[in-house]
Amino acid sequence: MRVVVFSAKPHDRDFLPVACADRHELVFHESRLSAATVPLAAGAEAVCLFVHDHADATILAGLAKLGVKHLALRCAGFNNVDLAAAAQLGLGVARVPAYSPHGVAEHAVALLMTLNRRVHRAYNRVRDGNFALEGLLGFNVHGKTVGIVGTGKIGLCFARIMHGFGARLLAHDPVPNPEAVQLGAEYVALDRLLAGSDIISLHCPLTPATHHLIDATALARMRDGVFLVNTSRGPLVDTAAVIEALKSGKLGALALDVYEEEEGIFYEDLSAAFVPDDLLARLLTFPNVLMTSHQAFFTREALTSIAATTAGNLDDFAAGRPCANAVKA
């Protein structure tokens, strides 16, 4: 089956062909899927998309006219796809529901500990010959209360690590995870978690109900000096609100691997240009903000898993059999 891969990066060219093992003809394009790039899918039965590719009703109709029958998402999120329109057009959609939850959870911990112990600042200081300790004071995670919003696979992995640190665990999820309870996690209402946590880590999906889950109201309920970590979805956090909370000192530190307006910025090299987003540029001026560019998933194990699952989904599409990872409206 001919598959056009949009938003292709070098790692996609390394891992996807190995997983597909010549079962599918892969055509790679660095361009994101948009109204302007739909023609690149001519002659393909399937397209392979990533988080910043657009697949609204108009674009899907354009793909269908070209003969595309399937959309294989090499990511877990699917809010960039109009599922109702896909169903009307008879387009199959499948995703990668889980890949290396350990990698994402470990990255969240890495962000937390880097900020807490000022490792990034110490690294630069020492390289400049400054071996002073002033400004590098951190705290023990042991004995602190860690609030975990979302206790699916990634949230559970994060909970296990925090349990290993000796932290007290508060959790919030519509469906409590028995394994988190066994770790000693106490499930509470979101307001109680916000008010009672020293550290808050977000691991929930993006839905209409969770959009700007962390807004000015939520921030006001938090303890002064709280550490907030988001390795889940950018729009969970109201950027303007967290900037105000950083300025006032309500937020002690902010660690982000995602950003609500990251499209067109993350995964791009802007070092010779400028950051076109004013709120993002403002965030980057705070010494107590640490940001990575949606790399929490970026481990060898995760890329292998993503490629294998994507290849399996394509195999199901090609064989005309039900796909276990199908996504429907």
Known catalytic residue at 282: no
Among 262, 268, 300, 301, the active-site one is 262
Among candidates 105, 95, 96, 135, which has minimal Cα distance to 119?
A: 135
Closest residue by Cα to residue 167 from 134, 190, 145: 145
Query: Residue 310 in 3-state DSSP?
Result: helix
**How many residues appear in the chain?**
329
Q: What tokens appear for 30 in the block?
A: 């660095």
d(CA 249, CA 238): 16
Give Dmax over CA atoms of the chain in angstroms: 65
Phi and psi (nearest 5°) for 2?
-80, 125
Number of Cα atoms under 13 Å in the Cβ half of residue 74 = 31
State how beta strands 251-256 and 145-149 pair. Answer: unpaired
DSSP for residue 325 = T
CB 71 within 8 A of CB 81: yes
Q: Are 61 and 116 in contact (CB under 8 A)?
A: no
d(CA 130, CA 21): 52
CA distance 125 to 258: 27
CB 73 within 8 A of CB 95: yes
Can 168 be counted among the known catalytic residues?
Answer: no
Would you call 131 exposed, middle or buried from its count of C-beta atoms within 10 A (0-12, 13-18, 19+)?
Answer: exposed
Exactly one of 30, 233, 260, 301 is catalytic; which is it? 233
Q: List residues with catalytic annotation.
A: 233, 262
